[in-house]
Amino acid sequence: MRLHRAFWIAAALVLADQLTKAWIVATYPLGTELEIVPGFFRLVHARNRGIAFGILGASGPTVQLALLVVVAGIVAFVAWQLGHAGGDGLASVGLAFVLGGAIGNIIDRLLRGEVVDFLDFYVVAGGGERHWPAFNLADSAITVGACCVILAEIMSQFREKRAPSPD
């Protein structure tokens, strides 16, 4: 895959993420829960000021600004890594996904001061619901991208160990 394709993947993910979040915000009031697959999945309109799983969500403006700066730094680093990787292979696809997801969430932080989450998966067990924290398309892209990068590294290490040694 050429480098420009990787950046197009990231841009497509940003667009899809922002469109889905705009649809949720325009269609459902904050706090809405819409059952899609009973006992497993619902659409919700939730907000997250923190990082993963709401960590630091109740922090003040100084910490929120620091989070924004850190996330912007991560976006810059991932973009640099993508350029360095040359746009080829599974690692580049993974980096493109991480970049697109990170940019999608940073746009939310800049526009709203928090991230819109709307995917809520859960199971009913032991007389109650067990939830994974609500998330969005950008979060999914970051997770899939990170898994692709890890898998590419594992495959690279495996190939190096199987390659005949020059004697």
Q: Which residues are catalytic?
A: 117, 139
Whole-number Å distance between alpha carbons of 39 and 22? 26
**Six-digit token string for 57:** 């969500």
**Six-digit token string for 31:** 């706090």
Per the CB < 8 A criterion, the answer to whether 50 and 59 are in contact is yes
